[in-house]
Amino acid sequence: MKIKRYFAADMRQAIRMVREEQGPDAVILSNRRVDGGVEIVAAIDYDEALVHKMANGEGARAKAAAATPRPAAAAPDAGSTQRTQRFQPLSSAAPRAPSAPPSKIVWSQDPALVSMRDEIKTLRGMLESQLTGFAWREEAMRHPARAKLLERLLQLGLAPGLCRELADQVPYQGEHEHHWRHALGLLARRVRVSEDDILTQGGVVALVGPTGVGKTTTAAKLAARFILRHGVSRVALITTDSFRIGAHQQLRTFGRLLGVQVHVANDAAELRTVLDGLRDKQLVLIDTAGMSQRDVRLSEQLALLHNGAPRVRNYLVLSATAQRSALEETVRAFRHASIAGCVLTKLDETASLGEALSVVVQQQLPVAYTSDGQRVPEDLHQGRANKLVSSSVALMQKNKIDVPEEAALANAFGRMVS
């Protein structure tokens, strides 16, 4: 093992000196700041066991030297030659028993390397940003009509990938408004809807989804609409929410107003028993516990539905106010529950509908109903693709959503340039 001390003006220059003289396999044993720069102690052919042995030997000699009278300390030190030899490279003439392979050195925690890694990461980010900016500007110059359409679709709140897919299918002839209307028509055709199947088919329907998205109010609206068509005796309400204090009360209040009895099921066995007693009902609506997509109890709630009501149709209730990433995570979490469709709520509270539209399009999730208020049942509407797209455009215009800046456009589309 060869050990050498290096001095340099800064850490980067010192490390370069080590690599040039000892190669990429050199190990940094220590580093510290000194007057005029930094000091690095580096080694090649590093043997960690030998270093520990030397350190222990030096410590023992230091203690012995402290205990030795001063005249004796001036005497020749037989160990000094040995100490010098320990730092010399191993000689081929001196046979040595094979030793265990050296322990793996963890470089990632070295302060110098951590600093260099952070600098490289920053430089890489700056370079990628510049490259995506160049790519976007070049594409905008080559296809200005397409670039303008992408800009407007992103302003609508759509995901960049969906914007790109729509823009790729537009024939660029005529004025920009023609391109815009064509893209909106393509978007409407991508939005899947279900044909009012809850109110026409009936059956056992469960509303699932995160907390606070409006499942209980949606259940009341559906029950009220069904009563208007088929009468109060043909519908029943069940709640499985045993997690929140007073969770049953809101549904019981709606049930009392509608003249419908509300049943409670705390587990799969109770749910089966309740459903057996409601076989004469044409529609049974199950209001489930609201849980985050990250809640560990989510699987328990979905298992309750699966085991207690094997023929249940699950509808995912999503808030249009949620961010696209949260909506995507929610759909993934509930996807294994065999989702038949979704209900988009809080359309009256959102500033943009594009993110929700992106999720239902890209996840191929049919929209059964939309909700835009608290009134029962007036603020519940059947899902209509053209209506959703036109509402999205109206929201963009009403809220005067700014045109994306060039940096945002480059970040969204620069990496997609082929």
Residue range 116-137, pLDDT digits in tens: 777 777 766 666 555 555 565 6
| Alpha-carbon span 60 to 71, nearest angstrom | 20
Q: Identify the structural domains of the chain with CATH numbers, from first to last.
A: 2-85 (no CATH), 197-383 (3.40.50.300)
Mean pLDDT for 24-32 is 77
Lowest-confidence region among 67-71, 186-190, 198-202, 308-312 = 67-71
Mean pLDDT for 353-365 is 94
- Higher-confidence position of 232 and 311: 232
Q: pLDDT exceeding 70 applies to what percent of the chain?
A: 69
User: Residue 398: pLDDT above 70?
Assistant: yes
Mean pLDDT for 222-228 is 93
Segment 292-312, tens digit of pLDDT: 555 555 666 666 776 666 688
Mean pLDDT for 18-24 is 80
Pair of tokens at residue 177: 């408004």
| Alpha-carbon span 313 to 268, nearest angstrom | 16
When pLDDT is cut at 50, 70 and 90, the band that residue 102 belongs to is low
Given this model, what pLDDT does residue 414 score?
61
- Higher-confidence position of 405 and 253: 253
Mean pLDDT for 87-116 is 52
**Number of Cα atoms under 13 Å in the Cβ half of residue 309:** 29
Residue appearing with tokens 């222990």: 56
53, 55, 82 from 61: Cα distances, Å: 12, 10, 12
- Higher-confidence position of 236 and 417: 236
Q: DSSP of 245-280, one letter per residue? A: TTHHHHHHHHHHHHT--EEE--SHHHHHHHHHTTTT
Given this model, what pLDDT does residue 415 score?
59
**Please, are residues 51 and 99 in contact by the beta-carbon 8 Å criterion?**
no
User: Residue 83: pLDDT above 80?
Assistant: no
